[in-house]
Amino acid sequence: MNTLLIRNATIINEGRSFTGSLLIENDRIAGISEGQSLPAGKNVRIIEAEGLWLLPGVIDEHVHFRDPGFPQKADFASESAAAVAGGVTSVMDMPNTKPQTVTLDLLEEKFRIAASKSMVNYSFWLGATAGNLEELKKADTARVCGIKVFMGSSTGNMLLDDPEILERVFAEAPLLVAVHAEDDRIIRENLKKYEEEFGINIPFPLHPEIRPAEACYHSTATAIDLARRHGTRLHILHLSTAEELELLEGNTPLQKKKITAEACIPHLWFSDEDYYRLGSRIKVNPAVKTAADRAALLQALIDDRLDTIATDHAPHAWQEKAKPYLLAPSGTPMIQHSLPVMLEHAREGDISVEKVVEKMCHAPAELFGIRERGFIREGYKADLVLVDPAAPWTVAKENILYKCSWSALEGTRLHARVTHTFVNGHLVYRNGQIDRSFRGEALTFDR
C-alpha cells in the first residue's frame, strides 16, 4: 500500500486556511487533521511540509494539447508534464486537434492517446459542427465534459455561426455547451481595413482593435439570449471585457446557475500595453484588453460573476509564432504557470488565496460535476499540490517544459513555487523531478 503523510502544511481548502496534516492511502485522501499531526504508522513516508501550502490539484477546464495532429506544437506527454510542474492534476482538452474531435470514434481515439501518454487526469470536449448534432446527442455524459461551440473563428477553423444550427445546438445539446464568443463579422471587417493599410505586417498592438470589446459583447449577448430561450446549460469561455461582465450575475450559487463563465490567465495577467513588448507571444483570441478590463475581470472573480479560472493553454511552435501578424497563429502556452501567476496576484492583494483555490480547483469540479476531485476531503482522490509561497524564481527557457520551449512570461519573477504534485495519490512531480512513467485517469462526472 502507498501510504504517505504530509505533515504540518498550511491547508487551504473550502474558504479556510489552517495548519494540519493529511494522510494518503493508495489513490485517496485517508485522513485530514487540524493542528496536531496524525500519527505516522510503520512504513509511512513522511513529507515535512512546514511553511508550505497544501491545495487541491488545479483542474484546468480549457487546454489545447494539440494531440493528435500537431506534434510540432505539443503532445499529451509534453504538456501533461508541464501541467504537473504547475500543480495541475486534471485537464479538459479542446476539440480543435487534427482530426477535430467531432465524432464519438475520434473522441475515443483521444481517450486512448491520453491513457497512453498523460501524467494528469483528463476529459475531452466534443466539437459542434454544422452537421454532427445527432452524434453529440449520443455522447456519454459520464465521460465527456461538454460540447464546444466556436461562435468566433479561431485556431482550427471550427466556426459555427449559422443562426439556425446554433438554435438547434442550444435547444438539443445533451450536455453543457461552452462557447468561444466573438463576432466574426466585426472581426473580418476590421481585419480587412488593417490588411489594406499594412498587408501581412499589421502591428501586433492592433490585435485588440481588430478583435475589439464590441465583438465579444455582441457574441456573448447572443449566446446568453440563445441559452435563456432554450434553457441551455451555457458556459462562456475566456471573458475578456468589463462590458460582458454586466451580462453575468454573481448572486446565484454556482450549483444553481444555468449560465456560468470562465476567466483565462492571459486576460488576468497581461494588458493591451504588453503587445508593444510581447507582440505575437500574446496574440490570443479573444485579444487581451485594457488594464481596466483586467481589473474588472479580477473583481468579477471576487464577486462570483466569473466562476472558474483556466489557462486556454494553446502552444504553437516558435517558427509559427514568429511570423508576421496575419500568418502567426493565435494562442499562448500557460499551464505550467497558471497557479504561480494567480498566487502572485494574491501576493499583490488583488485576490485572496482562498478565492484562487475556489476558482481553479473547487469550481471546475462543482461546475462539471467531477466525481471525487477538486476538494481536500476524506475519501476523495488524492489530487494535491504543495506550494512554497516564498521561493522566488524567474520564468526562463531552462525551466520551461512546454514542447514549444517558449513562454510570454519569460523574464517574469514569481514568488510561489510548486514543490510537489500528487495525481491520484502518486507523487508525480517533486522539485523539478517528474515521474514520466505515471499515467492519469479519465475523469468521471455525476450530473
d(CA 184, CA 160): 10
Binding part of the chain for Zn ion, among 133-141, 293-301, 309-317, 357-365 by CB under 5 A, reads 309-317
Name the residue with the smallest CB distance to Zn ion: 312
CB of 94 to Zn ion, least distance (A): 5
* Residues noted as catalytic: 312
**Residues contacting 121, CB < 8 A, separation 6+:** 89, 90, 91, 373, 383, 423, 424, 440, 441, 442, 443
**For residues 57 and 422, what is the distance between their CA atoms, to the nearest angstrom?**
8
User: Binding to Zn ion by residue 182, rule CB under 5 A?
Assistant: no
CA distances 180 to 80, 114, 159, 223, 234, Å, are 23, 24, 9, 10, 11
Q: Is 13 exposed, middle or buried (0-12, 13-18, 19+ CB in 10 A)?
A: buried
CB neighbours of 256 closer than 8 A, spacing ≥ 6? none
Nearest distance from residue 426's CB to Zn ion, in Å?
Answer: 28
Half-sphere exposure of 325 (CA within 13 A, CB side): 19
Name which of 78 and 285 has its Cβ closer to Zn ion: 285
Q: Which residues contact 377 (CB under 8 A, 6 or more apart)?
A: 29, 32
Phi, psi of 423 (to 5 degrees): -115, 125
Residue with Cβ nearer Zn ion (4 or 210): 210
Is the distance from CB of 161 to CB of 184 less than 8 angstroms?
A: yes
Contact map string, positions 253 to 292, toward Zn ion, x by CB under 5 A: ----------------------------------------
Nearest-approach distance from CB 67 to Zn ion, in angstroms = 15
CB 90 within 8 A of CB 122: yes
Cβ(239)–Cβ(296) below 8 Å:
no
- CA of 385: how far to CAs of 122, 148, 296, in Å? 17, 29, 29
Q: Work out the number of other CB atoms within 10 angstroms of the CB of residue 247.
A: 17
Nearest distance from C-beta of residue 312 to Zn ion, angstroms:
4
Window contacting Zn ion (CB under 5 A); options: 1-9, 80-88, 310-318, 397-405: 310-318
Q: Please report which residue ranges of 265-391 form alpha helices under DSSP H.
A: 265-269, 275-278, 291-302, 318-321, 338-347, 353-357, 363-368
* Closest separation in Å from C-beta 63 to Zn ion: 8
Among the listed residues 446, 89, 383, the one whose alpha carbon sits nearest the alpha carbon of residue 255: 446
Whose Cβ is closer to Zn ion: residue 312's or residue 350's? Answer: 312
Complex with Zn ion: residue 183 or 312, whichever CB lies closer: 312
- Pairing relation of β-strands 3-13 and 53-56? parallel
DSSP output for 76-114: HHHHHHHHHHTTEEEEEE-S-SSS-S-SHHHHHHHHHHH
Contact positions with Zn ion (CB under 5 A) in 110-139: none
Q: How far is the CB of 313 from Zn ion (least distance, A)?
A: 8
Does 312 contact Zn ion by CB under 5 A? yes
- As measured in angstroms, the least distance from the Cβ of 402 to Zn ion is 16
Residue nearer to Zn ion on the CB measure, 79 or 312: 312
Interaction of residue 79 with Zn ion, rule CB under 5 A? no
Closest separation in Å from C-beta 425 to Zn ion: 30
Smallest separation (angstroms) from Zn ion to the CB of 375: 26
DSSP, collapsed to helix, strand or coil, labels residue 22 as: strand
Determine the size of the site formed for Zn ion (CB under 5 A).
Answer: 1
> CB within 8 A of 418, min separation 6: which ones?
85, 86, 87, 339, 340, 385, 386, 387, 429
DSSP letter at 52 equals -
Terminal alpha carbon distance of the chain: 32
Q: 10 Å Cβ neighbour count for 126?
A: 26
Contacting residues toward Zn ion, per CB under 5 A: 312
